[in-house]
Amino acid sequence: MSAVQFIFPSGIKKHLLEGGSMGEIQARQFMAKNGKQFVVRTALPNDADKVVDFIRTVLGEAPYLLTTEAEFKATGEQQKQLLQQMLDDDGKLAILAEYDGEIIGFLDFHNGHRLRTKHQGSFGMSVKKDFRNQGVGKALLTMLLDWAKENPLIEKVCLEVAADNTNALRLYRNFGFVEEGVKTKAMKIDEQTYDDLILMAYFVD
């Protein structure tokens, strides 16, 4: 768990006392394995166009994402509205990792919309190919779980991960996520190839 050096603390409680909402975090700086410093911060509505470009790029690179590049149709304006909605919602969070003005990682968390499910939610996370295995995913996950621990709404953080994505599975297990089940042949890669999805959860103390 020493891949990323924390440069300064999140200050979530301080941020809330200063009038911030639970839909945003105070930026934190990290140092990657290669020595480059990057920042994890709230994804704001004015980041929408850059977020759309990032998602399109990652969908063309990553083999383990459920959405394909051809299926992604969101416009900058639609993404802007979504980021604003998430910013205004105490049970949701959208954060990004940024290096030299470039988005290199993105994570979004959505809690349940019903009374009996709003205490838990799930997230998706992606990192640009050139920045994988550098601690970017670890930094994003650290910020999410720090936020969840300070959020009175959130008791459980869930995810689904491809069974073949061994690096991601190792990361989640190191953070204390536990396996809750398996969706067999849930991903169809091509006519002959399938992958299972592992259901995992982190219970907030």
Whether 2 has a pLDDT exceeding 80, the answer reads: no
* pLDDT digit string, tens, across residues 98-122: 999 999 999 999 999 999 999 999 9
> How many CB atoms neighbour CB 145 within 10 A?
17
Token couple for 76: 């900058």
The confidence score (pLDDT) of residue 108 equals 97
pLDDT band for 70, please (50, 70, 90 cuts): confident
Looking at residue 30, the DSSP 8-state letter turns out to be: E
The confidence score (pLDDT) of residue 20 equals 58
* pLDDT digit string, tens, across residues 42-62: 999 999 999 999 999 999 887
* pLDDT digit string, tens, across residues 120-144: 999 999 999 999 999 999 999 999 9
The confidence score (pLDDT) of residue 4 equals 46
Which sign, positive or negative, has the C-alpha torsion 83, 128, 64, 149?
negative
- Summary count for the chain: helices (H), strands (E): 5, 9
Question: Model pTM?
Answer: 0.88
Which is more confident, 62 or 92?
92
CA distances from 110 to 30, 101, 106, 115, 119 (A): 24, 26, 14, 14, 10
* Buried residues in 88-102 as b, exposed as e (16+ CB within 10 A): ebebbbbbbbbbeee
The confidence score (pLDDT) of residue 204 equals 96
* pLDDT digit string, tens, across residues 3-38: 444 443 444 444 444 555 688 899 999 999 999 999
SS3 percent helix, strand, coil of the chain, rounded to 5, is 30, 30, 40
What number is the average pLDDT over the span 70-81? 92
